[in-house]
Amino acid sequence: MQNSTVSSSKKNKLKKITNSKGFSAFTAALLAIFLGLIFGFVVMVVASPANSLSGFEMVLIGGLNRLGDVLYFATPILMTGLAVGFAFKMGLFNIGASGQYTMGMFFALYAGFMWDLPGSIHWIVCVLAGMVGGMLWGFIPGIFKALLNVNEVITSIMFNYIGMYLVDILIQGNAVMYVSSKTRTAYLPATAQLPSLGIANSNVNFSFIIAIAVAVILYVVLHKTTFGYELKATGFNKSAATYAGMNGKRNIILAMVIAGAMAGLGGAFAMLAPSTIAGSSMTYEPINVIAANGFTGIAVALLGSNSPIGIIFSSLFISYIQRGGTLASLYGYKAEIIDVVIAVIIYFSAFAMLMNATVIKLLKKRRDKKYLKIIADVPDSNNSHQIDKKEGA
Amino acid sequence: MEEYIIEMLNITKEFPGIIANDDITLRLKKGEIHALLGENGAGKSTLMSVLFGLYQAEKGEIRINGKVAKINNPNDANDLGIGMVHQHFKLVEIFTVLENIILGVEPNKLGFLQKKGAREKVLMLSEKYGLKVSPDAFIEKISVGMQQRVEILKMLYRENDILIFDEPTAVLTPQEIGELMKIMREFAKEGKSILFITHKLNEIMAVADSCTVLRKGKCIGTVSIKDTTKEELSRMMVGRDVIFKVDKKNAEPGDVVLSVRNITVSSETHKNNAVKNVSFDVRAGEIVCLAGIDGNGQTEFIAALTGLEKLSNGSITLCDRNITKASIRTRSKSGMSHIPEDRHKYGLVLDYTLEENLVIQRYWQPEFQNLGFIKGQAVRSYAEKLIEQYDVRSGQGPITAVRSMSGGNQQKAIIAREIDKQHELLVAVQPTRGLDVGAIEYVHKQLIARRDAGKAVLLVSLELDEVMNVSDRILVMYEGEIVGELDPKTTTVQEIGLYMSGAKRNLVKEVENAK
């Protein structure tokens, strides 16, 4: 028995990488992307056959010429992706990332315009303010869910609207922040803008590094701490978590607050980015539209299978393909085409997860079969040992 | 040459990863009661599903009255006169008894239901075999015993003459089991043939003519009951000797560890209270068993005791500490360990690894965490220790996904976890449910070892053998009340049965006085 277990554990080590959850999620994502791209190409052929090849080439490799932009646009959706993915680890569907993101933008803008602080700390305060804004908008659905068991999907959808209209009203009513002739916010003071990373012709800035660091921290929280242990246990099996005495209510609120903080940071990063044109900055237009980056976050989280590390890569990929899509407009393609392609990729990622699961299951069953054979041989001999012992004693 | 009504010859049925039936031959004579014996997972249900047309065998053939039959679905089986009472009844809860019986073979005229003839036929059958049912009662309102009679009437109404009973006694009281046996013998006398699936040896000895034993998908043999003994059968079933009588010393009860007073719990499903005014004590060094038929308030009582549900009235004292309103974590810290009834719903996080599950009651202790960071190495070595000590078998040791483990080993893991945790009271709810004989023996030994170590044990069980063998004191629960306190040394299974069915009660005077 000893020998057989040893040899099987050796085999398992070899197969460990290919059998791990992360690996299957990765191959599923790749398969999804592949199928999505093929379908995207078909869409482009239908839309405009003559330009389809060169257009598709742009989608595929266009992003390479704009790597700085890829990183820049990846940052906010990386954060909203984390906002969705982290909550989902606990079984909460945080569809309110848009609202939290919008609140983050507003809080960051407010700190940027209204508070006069020295340049070295101003942008840091603005970032933190944005985080607090998002936390607030995560906290409220969290409280409702924990104490009154109101479905977080409903509350957070409503808070998307409440947040968006509230922010639009507040901005339009503030003469310092709002330039009514241009229907947008004024340019932020330079002290409130994030330090640039200095890549030519790109807005990429320090926030990308913060975002990666935050994703790594979340990974550590999820996998190395008691809080992460409780969170995942609750996500997998709520009843068992209750049985083990975990404080479900506190954890729900905490998870939603952290998720909100992520989206809020995303909003702050989007607003506080430095502009390549001196004297200008990013602006917010209060035009009663819910922030799209919040919903893109759902796609990012799904493609990254809710893992913080996976989300880093999926946000980069989606940003990359979006840049390529923008460039495809050079060949007369509407930007919406690329939205279709991205939507298809997301659709296939759900589908591919399923396909992948079946493939993995088949492989596992084959392995289990071998293992069962080992087991079937073992207990008999083992039991007879026990009896021998009894008789001996 | 003897005539067989059913012959299942060399049946092999394979599922991905496992051979459920390996070259099994089963022959059923006309008018006999043939038992099919085996542990959980031995392949009994698979074999019957092949016969009933739910699965197709890869190899082998089925002959009915000597002719090869192709059974592709339950309708084919029905046409051949095969009927089955499933372990979990297949009844429509919101239909009446009569509607359930005629379901699928409704007599109609131009699409309009003709119930009158059907009712007469059902009443006639019910009269003839003493299967008491009320045709117009709704299934959800009648007892489990009557639901089973409805299932039997369904087969009779369809004029089946080969009857399969899948674990029919699991949900019945001893009295009801006796009645069922009588009815089965009646059927056999009339020339109907019965296949009786079970793992209870007493019932086989009492009612069957012959018995086929399966073990791990293989056919061990067919024996005639006249020429065999219980011990012989169990050896065939398990592959080794099994000790039926649990070895234990007399209990030496010490101080009161758990004391519950006037516990009342309201029910989620109906207006009445599920638990009514329950009071008793459990002392150190004794095993108190809460017996009763499923659904008489045991689940609700345990939920209130362990903190999963709120109680509407009463108090709970554990080691002189009032824990009536305490959180689950506080109860656990105060010395309560809980082996839950539903190990998949409560006991385990199936997607977690074995080591993660083994520390689920303790991960917050300084031994396993530092400033909120889990000490991976400490968890690993603790898990390895428990796995070794309690012989938990798994594919990859501490990092095995618990989902992939067998039921018996999952239960061992829970028991190891709950026993190893510091505790004064062990609450074990149906700890042997769904386990095979070997694992049951193991669980019973562990419970008695806890008692001998001076811990208080509260066992909730539906299995009367377990109640009689393991406990030192029996409390019988009926409709949410404790209706009797019995001593397993002086009582009989029949007497417990009377209390369980509400036919008899004695007021528990000791506890009343202690109030």
- Classified as helix, coil or strand, B367 is coil
CB-CB under 8 Å, B372 with A240 = no
Q: Is residue B341 part of a domain?
A: no
Work out the minimum CA distance from A193 to partner chain B, whole angstroms.
Answer: 35
Whether residue B175 is found in the same domain as residue B272: no
Contacts of A375 in chain B (CB under 8 A): 393
Most distant CA pair in chain B: distance in Å? Answer: 79
B277: left (phi over 0), alpha (psi -120 to 50) or beta: left
B309 and B211, same structural domain?
no
* Rounded distance between C-alpha atoms, residue B118 and residue B99, angstroms: 9
Dihedral, CA of residue B373, residue B376, residue B379 and residue B385, to nearest 10:
-160
Location of structure tokens 């296939």 = A348
Distance CA B366, CA B355 (A): 17
Look at A12 and B345 and tell me if their CB atoms are within 8 Å: no
Q: Note whether B327 and B409 are same-domain residues.
A: no
Contacts of residue B288, defined as CB under 8 A and 6 or more positions apart, other chains included, come to B280, B282, B456, B457, B458, B459, B471, B472, B473, B474, B475
Asked if B356 and A362 come within 8 Å (Cβ–Cβ), the reply is no
Q: pLDDT band for A381, please (50, 70, 90 cuts).
A: very low
Q: How far apart, in whole angstroms, are the C-alpha atoms of residue B457 and residue B453?
A: 11
Question: In the beta sheet, which residues pair with residue B477?
Answer: B482
Domain end among B421, B437, B455: B421
- First-to-final CA distance of chain A: 23
Q: What is the b/e burial string over A239-257, where b = at least 16 CB atoms within 10 angstroms of the residue's CB?
A: bbbbbbbbbeeebbbbbbb
List residues of chain A with CB under 8 Å from any CB of chain B: 8-9, 12, 224-227, 229, 232-233, 236-237, 239-247, 362, 364-366, 368-369, 371-372, 375-376, 380, 383-384, 387
Q: Which residues pair with B166 in a beta bridge?
A: B197
Q: CB distance B240–A247 less than 8 Å?
A: no
Contact B346/A239, CB-based, under 8 Å?
A: yes
Cβ–Cβ under 8 Å, residues B175 and B117: no
Is residue A4 over pLDDT 50?
Answer: no
Is the Cβ pair B395, A371 closer than 8 Å?
yes
d(CA B242, CA B229): 13
B31 HSE (CA, 13 A, CB side): 5
pLDDT at position A52 over 60: yes
Q: How far, in Å, CA of B472 to CA of B485, rounded?
A: 11
Claim to verify: residue B199 and residue B133 sit in the same structural domain: yes
- Name the domain boundary from B421, B445, B473: B421
Q: Where are the alpha helices (DSSP H) in B457-502?
A: 464-470, 493-500
Domain CATH number, residue B112: 3.40.50.300
The number of helix segments (H) and strand segments (E) in chain B equals 17, 24
Please judge whether B347 and A383 are an interchain contact, meaning their C-beta atoms are less than 8 angstroms apart: no
Residue B76, Cα to own-chain centre: how many angstroms? 31
d(CA A73, CA B432): 57
| Of residues A226, A364, A384, nearest to B374 (C-beta) | A226
Kindly give, in sequence order, each residue whose CB lies less than 8 Å from that of residue B213, ignoring residues fewer than 6 positions away: B37, B38, B219, B220, B221, B222, B223, B233, B236, B237
Q: Best interface-test mutation with A: which of B305, B330, B349, B392 has the largest number of A CBs within 10 A?
A: B349
Query: Does residue B313 sit within a domain?
Result: yes
| CA–CA gap between residue A94 and residue A260 (Å, rounded) | 9
pLDDT at A374: 52
Domain that holds residue B497: 243-335+424-515
Phi, psi (5° rounding) for residue B72? -95, -25
Q: What 3-state class would DSSP assign to B347? A: helix
Residue A386 confidence (pLDDT) above 70: no
Q: What is the model's pLDDT at position A388?
A: 38
User: Does B56 lie in the same domain as B159?
Assistant: yes
Q: How far apart are CA A254 and CA B74, in angstroms?
A: 53
Q: Which 3 state secondary structure label does DSSP give A361?
A: helix
Strands B425-429 and B336-339: parallel
One domain, residues B412 and B499: no
Binary contact (A369, B16; C-beta < 8 A)? yes
Give me the pLDDT at residue B423, please: 93
Question: Which residue shows structure tokens 């996998």?
Answer: A223
Q: What is the mean pLDDT of residues A18-35?
A: 72
Would you state the structure tokens that stand for residue A296, as one six-digit string? 């893109």
Output the average pLDDT for chain A. 83
Between B16, B240, B346, which is nearest A240 by CB?
B346
User: Residue B333 has what pLDDT?
Assistant: 92
Q: Is the pLDDT of residue A146 over 90?
A: yes
Between these two residues, B510 and A126, which has the higher pLDDT value? A126
Residues 6+ apart with CB under 8 A from A9: B396, B397
Q: Measured between alpha carbons, how far is A104 from A260 in angstroms, rounded to an integer?
A: 9
B279 and B357 co-located in one domain: no
- Residue A222, pLDDT score: 95
Measured between CA atoms, the residue of chain A closest to residue B366 is: A226
| CB within 8 Å: B364 and A226 | yes
Coil, helix or strand at residue B462: coil
Task: Give the whole-angstrom CA distance, residue A134 versus residue A87.
Answer: 14
Are B411 and B494 part of one and the same domain? no
In terms of domains, do B439 and B410 share one? no
DSSP annotation string for A209-264: HHHHHHHHHHHHHHHHBHHHHHHHHHHH-HHHHHHTT--HHHHHHHHHHHHHHHHH
Residue B441 resides in a domain: yes
Give the pLDDT score at A5: 45
CB A66 within 8 A of CB A323: yes
Structural contact between residues A323 and A74, judged by C-beta atoms closer than 8 angstroms: no
Question: Which structure tokens are listed for B91?
Answer: 């009844």
Q: How near does any CA of chain B get to the CA of A209, in Å?
A: 24
Asked if the Cβ–Cβ distance from A227 to B372 is below 8 Å, we say yes
What are residue B107's phi and psi, to 5 degrees?
-75, 130
pLDDT exceeds cutoff 60 at A8: no
Please give the average per-residue pLDDT across A263-280, as a whole number.
89
Ranges of chain B with pLDDT below 70: 1-2, 16-17, 40-41, 241-245, 268-271, 434, 507-515
User: Do residues A138 and A260 lie in contact, with contact meaning Cβ atoms separated by under 8 Å?
Assistant: yes
The nearest alpha carbon in chain A to B303 belongs to A243
Q: Which residues neighbour B342 within 8 Å (Cβ) at sequence distance 6 or greater?
A: none
Q: Which of B241, B356, B376 sits opposite A387 (nearest CB)?
A: B241
Q: Are residues B377 and B462 in the same domain?
A: no
**Best interface-test mutation with B: which of A7, A12, A237 has the largest number of B CBs within 10 A?**
A237
Count of structural domains, chain B: 3
| Residue ranges of E strands in chain A | 178-179, 184-185
**Which amino acid is residue B264, in one-letter code?**
T
Q: Do A245 and B374 touch (CB under 8 A)?
A: no
The shortest C-alpha distance from B16 to chain A (Å) reads: 6
- Separation CA B367–CA B278 (nearest Å): 38
Same domain, B434 and B412: no
**B207 with B265, same domain?**
no
Three state DSSP letters for B281-320? EEECCCEEEEECCCCCCHHHHHHHHHCCCCCCEEEEEECC
Give the pair of three-digit tokens for residue B186.
Answer: 């009646």
Type of residue numbered B510: E
Domain end call among B421, B455, B474 = B421
Q: Which residues contact A295 (CB under 8 A, 6 or more apart)?
A: A97, A98
Helix, strand, coil fractions of chain B, as percent rounded to 5: 35, 25, 35
Whether A365 sits inside 8 A of B239 (CB atoms) is no
- B53 with B60: CB under 8 angstroms? no
What pLDDT, on a 0 to 100 scale, did the predictor assign at position B441? 84
Q: What are the chain B neighbours of A240 within 8 Å (beta carbons)?
A: 345-349, 360
